[in-house]
Structures are given as C-alpha cells and as structure tokens.
Amino acid sequence: MIDILRTADEVRARVRAIHRKGQRLALVPTMGALHEGHLSLVREGRRLAEVCAASIFVNPAQFGPREDLSRYPRDEAGDVAKCASAGAAFVWAPDTREVYPEGYQTYVEVSELSRRWCGEKRPGHFRGVATVVAKLFCAFEPDVALFGEKDFQQLAVIRRMVRDLGMAVEVVGMPIVREADGLALSSRNIYLSATERRSALGLSRALQAAAHLKANGETSASRLVEAASAELRAADARVDYVAVVDPTTLEPMDLVDRPARMLIAAHVGKTRLIDNAAL
C-alpha cells in the first residue's frame, strides 16, 4: 500500500527527495470519492512524470452554506487503494486545520473567469477552489498538475491563476470520462436514484442535440441553447444554466463561427450536475 501523508511538511520532505533524484512530479488534486475519471488523471500523470501523487481533501472553502459538504461521499481507504492501483506513489490527505490553520485569512480570487456560470450560481466556489489549489501547489511544487475537463470553468480558472501568479506548473486538462450511455462520471452520481439517473442522461443528450444541430450548420447560439434546454426539460432535469461560450474567456457567444464550448448545469432531484462539450 502507498503512503498517506497528513502534513504539508511531510509532503515537502517527500517532494525534496523526488527532486533530488532529478525526477518530475505530477499532482492530481481530488476531493476523494474517486472514479475512473480521476484514475485516468493519475495514469496520465504517471505517463508525464516519473512520480505521480494525489491529494484527497474535501475542501470546505468551495462549498456554499446550503451545499453538500457534510454528506459529500468519503472513503479514504478505498480511494487510496484506487490511487495505488492507478500508479500513484503517495497521497496527501490532510485534515481541515492543516490546510486552514486557526485564523486563516488568505484567499486567491480569479475575478473575471469566476464571475459567470457556476461562479454566479455558487458564490465563493471558485475562490475556494483557487485557494486550495494554490495551497496544494505550494506544498507539492509539482511539475505537472492534472484536472478533468468536466469542471471546465474550474480548469479555466486554474490556468488563469497559474499564469497570473507565475506558478511554475504545467496544467493539463483531460477529457471527460463517460458511462457507456453518455453520463459523465461524477462523484455526485452516487446521490442519484434509478429514476434520477435516467433524468441525468438529459445533460449528455442536450450536448449531443446541440452538437448535432451545429454539425448541420446551425450557428445561432440561442438556437443551440434552446435545443439543449428542450432536451433537459424532456428528461425532467431543471436547468440551472445552458451557455455557449468562448473556450478560453468563457464569455458567451452569439454566433458560433469559431471553436465554442457548451456548458450545462442542471438539477436532478436534489443533485446539481454539470457537463460540457466542444461544439
């Protein structure tokens, strides 16, 4: 079994030993409840660097007061075993006080990219994400860090933070991993009942409907959004937002005459799901 480190000092000592050997380090930050999507990041991390490490930390700073922090799925032993089988060398699983010591007051805010979409619906969420990822980068000083494209806005926020703060880490985005029927893998899928899981398929169907229309020549973003929203309604998923955006700035587009991304957030029962695809 691989080591589970608890303190940032232990991580730093381990990282120093790796760098002394002239090895590169890849980091896969996670909140646990690992699925095949996370494991694809660990495997790619192993391909890009001699050593890949993962962090498991359910970050309170990125949950709103009415969100699912207390019921977020936790299975440290299972997660560590999965990390080991995918090739991770060690895991950092700190407790909350290690990351946010008494009196903590330093936050990272990526202002523009955090404003819209999930940022608007989940105030403070990206400030929490950027802060914890910055702290992870301080502890690990990784050469490469890998994130899934399912959290497309998160990935854009992290890329911007790295560029703005001049952090010496290469950020790699990895494709969404889906079930055979199209459902994007998510740690929150375990909240879904059988009926809700069928409704959740509305998200990938909505993206497919928009991509199909686009492939047939539709360039009006509002018509693509309408087609996707209709699929979500038909599946009984409550639309939080559907948007067609520039993949780098995440600003909304009217005319889809260049690469674009459709972003979707929808509620299925009590569970909020997100998905996205290139158009």
* Interface ranges with ligand PAF (CB under 6 A): 29-31, 59, 62, 129, 132-133, 151, 154
Q: How far apart are CA 33 and CA 170, in angstroms?
A: 25
Asked whether 88 and 51 are in contact (CB, 8 A), the reply is: no
In the beta sheet, which residues pair with residue 5? 92
Q: Active-site residue among 38, 125, 212, 267? A: 38
Q: How far apart are CA 128 and CA 154, in angstroms?
A: 11
Minimum distance of ligand PAF from residue 132's CB (angstroms): 5
Looking at the Cβ atoms of 209 and 250, the one nearer to ligand PAF is 250
100 Cβ neighbours under 8 A, 6+ residues apart: 60, 61
Minimum distance of ligand PAF from residue 215's CB (angstroms): 30
Minimum distance of ligand PAF from residue 43's CB (angstroms): 17
Active site residue 125: no
Looking at the Cβ atoms of 59 and 204, the one nearer to ligand PAF is 59
Minimum distance of ligand PAF from residue 147's CB (angstroms): 6
106 Cβ neighbours under 8 A, 6+ residues apart: 131
141: phi > 0 → left, psi -120 to 50 → alpha, else beta; which?
A: left
Minimum distance of ligand PAF from residue 62's CB (angstroms): 6
Looking at the Cβ atoms of 45 and 225, the one nearer to ligand PAF is 45
Looking at the Cβ atoms of 52 and 221, the one nearer to ligand PAF is 52
Asked whether 157 and 114 are in contact (CB, 8 A), the reply is: yes
Asked whether 42 and 52 are in contact (CB, 8 A), the reply is: yes
Q: For residue 189, give Cα distances in angstroms to 147, 230, 231, 274.
A: 18, 22, 19, 11
Minimum distance of ligand PAF from residue 133's CB (angstroms): 6
Looking at the Cβ atoms of 11 and 221, the one nearer to ligand PAF is 11
Element (H or E) spanning 82, and its range? helix 76-86
Asked whether 158 and 234 are in contact (CB, 8 A), the reply is: no
Q: How far apart are CA 188 and CA 271, in angstroms?
A: 7
Looking at the Cβ atoms of 57 and 231, the one nearer to ligand PAF is 57
Q: How far apart are CA 231 and CA 237, in angstroms?
A: 9
Catalytic positions, please? 38
